[in-house]
Structure 1
Amino acid sequence: MKLAKEQKIIVIDPTEGCALPKLEHKEMKTLPIEPVTAFLREAKESGVFVMYYVELATGLRRGELLGLK
């Protein structure tokens, strides 16, 4: 916005005076190996092992995972 104002692309910067949201640090939570192993064993029997393995290994979100072919 600042650059656009300097280059006279916009007359005023609509973001001036806006308060930025505070950043919150959240500790990452991971699953213990035992429940993951049991989950993947069950997923293998259900035929969805590859999908859940990729999700657990990469951290893809649901929409990203379901978009894979």
Structure 2
Amino acid sequence: METPTAQQLPINAFAGIFLAATGVGVLIISQDLLRSALFLGVGLFFLMRALAQHRHAADGAD
């Protein structure tokens, strides 16, 4: 598995925000808790991945 790069950070952050917002939209529009939780969970996964990549890039910059 290759090491995450700083170029992947904006992509993962955008994907996480987009998926989390989609989950909120699904909850508001259709009130489908299962799909909403799925979108929110995947969105939070991408946001945590972006945060880990940011920390890894910051550690490598020292």
If each structure's helix is expressed as a fraction of its own residues, which one has the higher value? 2
Q: TM-score when scaled to structure 1?
A: 0.31
Larger relative contact order (C-alpha < 8 A, sep ≥ 6)? 2
Q: TM-score when scaled to structure 2?
A: 0.34
